[in-house]
Chains A and B, each alone.
Chain A
Amino acid sequence: MSQLATWRTGSTRVLPGFGLSMGISVLFISLVLLLPITGLFGQLAGLSFAEYWAIITEGRVVASYMVTIGAAAVAAIINAIFGLLLAWVLVRYEFPGKRLLDALMDLPFALPTAVAGITLATLYASSGWMGQLLEPLGFQVAYTWVGIALAMAFTSIPFVVRTVQPVLEDLPAEVDEAAMSLGATDGVAFRRVILPHIWPALVTGTGLAFVRSLGEFGAIIFIAGNMPYETEITALMIFVKLQEYDYAGASAIASVVLFVSLALLLAINVWQGRFVRRLHGGKG
Chain B
Amino acid sequence: MRRIGDAPVVRRLLIGAALVLSALFLLLPLVAIFAQAFSEGVMVFWANVSNTFTLHAIGLTLMIALLTIPVCLVFGVALAWLVTRFSFPGRRILQTLIDIPFAVSPVVAGLIYLLLYGRNGWIGTWLDGHDIQLMFAWPGILMVTIFVTCPFVARELIPLMQAQGSREEEAAVTLGASGWTTFRRVTLPNIRWALLYGVILTNARAVGEFGAVSVVSGAIRGQTNTLPLHLEQLYQDYNAVGAFACAALLAFIALLTLAAKAGLEWRAARREAFA
A: residues with CB less than 8 A from B are 3, 6-7, 10-12, 14-18, 20-22, 24-25, 28-29, 32-40, 42-43, 82, 85-86, 88-90, 92-93, 95, 97, 99, 101-120, 122-123, 128-130, 153-154, 157, 173, 176-177, 179-181, 186, 189-190, 193-194, 211-212, 214-218, 222, 235-236, 238-239, 242, 247, 250-251, 254, 257-258, 261-262, 264-266, 269
A269 CB contacts on chain B under 8 angstroms? 96, 99
Cβ contact within 8 Å between B94 and A180:
no
- The answer to whether A114 and B231 touch (CB under 8 A), given A40-B111, A215-B103, A257-B105, is yes
Is residue B221 contacting chain A, with contact meaning CB distance below 8 A?
no
What are the 3 closest A-B residue pairs judged by CB atoms, nearest first? A112-B208, A215-B105, A39-B116
Can you give 9 A-B contacts (C-beta < 8 A)?
Answer: A24-B78, A93-B14, A103-B258, A110-B258, A113-B210, A115-B254, A118-B247, A257-B108, A269-B96
Contact among B103, B170, B214 with A15 in the assembled complex (CB-CB below 8 Å): B170
Contact among A11, A92, A104 with B27 in the assembled complex (CB-CB below 8 Å): A104
- The answer to whether A115 and B108 touch (CB under 8 A), given A11-B166, A43-B115, A106-B261, is no
Interchain pairs with CB closer than 8 A, number? 305
Cβ contact within 8 Å between A110 and B243:
no
Is residue B81 contacting chain A, with contact meaning CB distance below 8 A?
yes
Give residues of chain B (80-138) contacting chain A, Cβ–Cβ below 8 Å: 81-82, 85-88, 94, 96-109, 111-117, 120-123
A21 to B84, CA, bound (A): 11
A235 to B109, CA, bound (A): 11
A266 to B103, CA, bound (A): 10
Give residues of chain B (215-260) contacting chain A, Cβ–Cβ below 8 Å: 215, 228-229, 231-232, 235, 240, 243-244, 247, 250-251, 253-255, 257-259
Closest to B83 in A: A25
B: residues with CB less than 8 A from A are 1-5, 7, 10-11, 14-15, 17-19, 21-22, 24-30, 32-33, 36, 74-75, 78-79, 81-82, 85-88, 94, 96-109, 111-117, 120-123, 143, 146-147, 150, 166, 169-170, 173-174, 178-179, 182-183, 201, 204, 207-211, 214-215, 228-229, 231-232, 235, 240, 243-244, 247, 250-251, 253-255, 257-259, 261-262
A201 to chain B, nearest CB (A): 15
A40 CB contacts on chain B under 8 angstroms? 111-112, 115
- The answer to whether A14 and B210 touch (CB under 8 A), given A39-B122, A107-B30, is no
Most interface-central of B26, B122, B147, B204 (chain A CB within 10 A): B26
Most interface-central of B22, B74, B101 (chain A CB within 10 A): B22
Cβ contact within 8 Å between B107 and A15:
no
A95 CB contacts on chain B under 8 angstroms? 15
Cβ contact within 8 Å between B120 and A18:
no
- The answer to whether A217 and B94 touch (CB under 8 A), given A39-B122, A110-B254, A190-B5, is no
Cβ contact within 8 Å between B26 and A107:
yes
B86 CB contacts on chain A under 8 angstroms? 11-12, 15, 18, 21
Closest to B257 in A: A110
Closest to A222 in B: B235
Cβ contact within 8 Å between B228 and A119:
no
